[in-house]
Structure 1
Amino acid sequence: MMTDEELMQKLEELTKEAQHHQLETLRSILLHNGTVRYLQSFEGPLHPSTFRRVVPLSSYQDYVDFINHMAEGKDDPFLSVDPLRCFFYSSGTSSSTMKPKLIPYFDSSLSKAASFIGHRGSVAVRQRLFPPKPEVNKILWFLYADNITTTKCGLKVMAASTYPLQSGNATPQQLATFSSPLEVIIGSHVEHQLYCHLLCGLRNLDLIDGITTPYAIGLIKAFGYLESKWEQLCDDLEHGFPCSEISEGAMREAVTKTLGDLIQNWQKE
């Protein structure tokens, strides 16, 4: 696995010759997926040099029928020859109806490589700009990993940010950076999860090095919720356990332990 410095060097090399790498990526995609239904609707064999002329700019609506067919379980290479693993949903903020879009996720080596560079690269860039401090190493991450639905054929639909937790690929090191315990992240009630995220984040205030959320709208909702619940949050921080509204046993117990551990640490100091 590449170190952060090696990854940063690779990103710099890629951006120096962006056009070349874009064409090579397109060439790989066309070579691998040239037989899918969507591309077959265009005349002649597609090549990177002719792609922009033959294939017009597209929007989600150009793919939605294919995506709906996949969600219904129809076994046909509509958009990719790779196996369909699940769907990710968008934030919905770009739609006039605020309805999330379904984004198919395929078990593709090309997409895995791109995702790895994208996710690891963003972390490496952030750490270069804002070097981590050993004593301040928590992230207030408004993450909701149990917000999962299924399509008619049983495929899971989730936020892309929750996939590592659902697939078991999250490392102990990653989990250790969350200000909230795992029981909050995988809870079943979004509003209660949000409350507990805020509660644990406020209790871990001196350890918080950043605040993040999968979508910008999530941060707006979190701050709005903080404005409406700050008095109750203050009471819970003072008493050392969440309010009675937090009824999910595992979540309540984990948050109470988090608050209690920190109170004990303060008392020792």
Structure 2
Amino acid sequence: MPEAPQTILSPASVPDEHRKALEFIEDVTANADQVQRRVLAEILAQNAPAEYLHRHGLPSRTAPDPDAFKRLIPVVTYEDIRPDILRIAHGDISSILSGRPISEFLTRFAARSRISGTSGGERKLMPMIEDELDRRSVLYSLLMPVMSQFVPGLDEGKGMYLLFVKSEARTPGGLIARPVLTSYYKSRHFLSQPFDPYNVLTSPNEAILCLDSYQSMYAQLLCGLIHRAEVVRVGAVFASGFIRAIRFLEKYWTRLCRDIRSGELDAEITDRAVREAVVRVLRPDPELARLIEAEFGRGSLQGIIPRLWPNTKYVDVIVTGAMAQYIPTLDFYSGGLPLTCTMYGSSECYFGLNLNPMCKPSEVSYTFIPTFAYFEFLPIHCSGNGRTEFDHRELVDLVDVKLGQEYELVVTTYAGK
């Protein structure tokens, strides 16, 4: 369930470059009801031409009334709108779900839903519009202003984040279909962002964008080792991905040491852009190679992260939900460094961030940022036989959720889903 806004430090006590971000968080969470009403009005005005709204009785000539929207538009699952999504995927450019042109699809494999019962293995297509990335990028811009309140000196070093893209496809109608993070890493918001001392990464963009997972991982870890003294935080999106990187390092550390010692990149890295990016920072460093060899020569990998990156202050990975199973392994590798979960999002929508990112993984909660979408909550009830039951007439707004009640999240987005 959503967390009530938490108290954050006064903007006067933080660097100037973070003041506006913290003021924004304070403003939109303190005025969540007003912001949510505005967001819903904007969504309905933008999507007034959408066939889907007219199909359910909303007028087509004026911006739909929010009260009429709540009364007439049903709560639906992906399966309910799948025929409309397939029309778009096959090239129908009319305003079906959105008043704006669909720019691409975000893909995901469905987990089982308590509402729909949909099981995993089905690839879902989430419609996106061009300006949705502008909106989602706001969440990324809030992460370091919050984190820097708890961890000093993050602007004095680099982050070793292991980031990867996946393959993309095209629908029969010609729209790109790709995972949400691939869409972001290939966007101007990631590739052309202005310099920010709080967001300097050791991984070159060329390595992040390389589709060959071996070459991408090898290059990113090599660059992370080259910049080891400057690394102040490490991470990946999911805990499982970061553990995979450590095991890759365990398997290939001798090759990496050879490259560092000689200043020559392994011949198996054949991607031209990746080679050129890595060669720009790779220099012969026999002392660093000896240090890495000595650490792996000790046998145990316990605490290997601070042993290789001694200035690391925390490990930034998602360790909630299904990722919680990896916490003991991460604790072993990290030597007890804090495990931080900073944000909450999905292919469908981005939701919010953790305003107490240094808390224990078991205590993680997220504060919804009410500008991202219109959020409603469906109370979950358990019947006498243990079955989960929903009553769509019980939908409540973001500001009306009750502490201790479990909810299914219902979102209405600017993209028309």
Give the structure-1-normalised TM-score.
Answer: 0.78
Which residue of 1 is the match for residue 39 of structure 2?
Answer: 25
- 8 A contact 1:183–1:251 mirrored in 2: yes
Q: 1:180 aligns to what?
A: 203
C-alpha distance in 2 between matches for 1:86 and 1:112: 11
Deviations 1:63-85 (A, max 9, x none): 33322222222112122111222
Give the aligned partner of residue 148 of structure 2: 127
1:58 paired residue number: 76
Which letter does structure 1 place at the counterpart of 2:79? Q
Give distance in 2, aligned partners of 1:241 and 1:62: 55
Q: Take 1:83 and 1:15, find their aligned partners in 2: how far apart are those partners?
A: 30
Q: Larger helix proportion, structure 1 or 2?
A: 1
Query: Kindly tell me: are residues 60 and 204 of structure 1, through their superposed partners in 2, closer, same or farther at Cα, counting changes over 3 Å?
Result: farther
Instruction: Find the structure with the greater CA-based Rg.
Output: 2
How many residues are treated as equivalent by the alignment? 260
| 1:213-232 aligned within 5 A | 213-214=236-237, 217-232=240-255
What is the match of residue 20 of structure 2?
Answer: 6
Structure 1 pair 199/80, CA: closer, same or farther in 2 (3 Å)?
same
Deviation at 1:163, TM superposition (A): 4.3
Residue 103 of structure 2 aligns to which amino acid in structure 1? R
Match of 1:73 in 2: 91
Report matched runs for 1:1-269 at 5 Å. 3-45=17-59, 47-90=65-108, 92=109, 94=111, 96-98=119-121, 100-108=123-131, 111=132, 114-136=135-157, 138-145=158-165, 147-163=167-183, 166-169=186-189, 170-171=192-193, 173=195, 177-214=200-237, 217-260=240-283, 263=285
Calculate the aligned-residue CA RMSD, in Å: 3.3
Aligned partner letter, 1:152: P
Q: Which has the higher contact order (CA 8 A, sep 6+)?
A: 2
Q: Structure 1 pair 202/106, CA: closer, same or farther in 2 (3 Å)? A: same
How far does residue 221 in structure 1 lie from its aligned partner after superposition? 3.5
CA 1:23–1:219 in structure 2 vs 1: closer, same or farther (change >3 Å)? farther
* Amino acid in structure 2 at the alignment position of 1:123: M
Please identify which structure carries the higher strand content. 2
Q: Distance in 1 between matches of 2:65 and 2:247?
A: 49
Aligned-pair distance for 1:195?
A: 1.9
Structure 1 unaligned spans of 5+: none
Change in 2 beyond 3 A, CA 1:56/1:215: farther
| Alpha-carbon separation, structure 2, partners of 1:230 and 1:60 | 45
Preserved CA contact (<8 Å) 1:7 1:117: no
1:161–1:214 contact (8 Å) kept in structure 2: no
Aligned residues of 1:140 and 1:179 also touching (Cα < 8 A): yes
C-alpha deviation, 1:199, in angstroms: 1.8
What secondary structure is seen at the aligned counterpart in 2 of 1:68?
Answer: helix
Q: 8 Å contact 2:93–2:101 — kept in the other structure?
A: no
Measured in 1, the distance between the counterparts of 2:29 and 2:149 equals 17
Gaps (5+ residues) in structure 2?
1-15, 113-118, 289-417
**Maintained 8 Å contact 2:89/2:173:** yes
Residue 165 of structure 1, CA deviation = 5.6
Give me the TM-score of the superposition, normalised by structure 2: 0.53
* Cα gap change, 1:179 to 1:114, in 2 (>3 Å): same
- CA shift, 1:26, in A, is 0.9
Shift of residue 118, structure 1, vs aligned partner: 1.9
Quote the offset at 1:33 in angstroms.
0.8
CA drift of 1:193 comes to 0.5
- Per-residue deviation, residues 140-189 of structure 1 (Å, max 9, x unmatched): 23233574433223322344445466444413526982212232123241
Distance 1:241 1:101, change over 3 A: farther
Partner Cα distance (2:91, 2:244) in 1: 34
Q: Distance in 1 between matches of 2:123 and 2:242?
A: 17
Counterpart Cα distance in 1 of 2:270 and 2:19: 45
Specify the SS of the correspondent of 1:63: helix
Matched residue of 1:141: which SS? strand
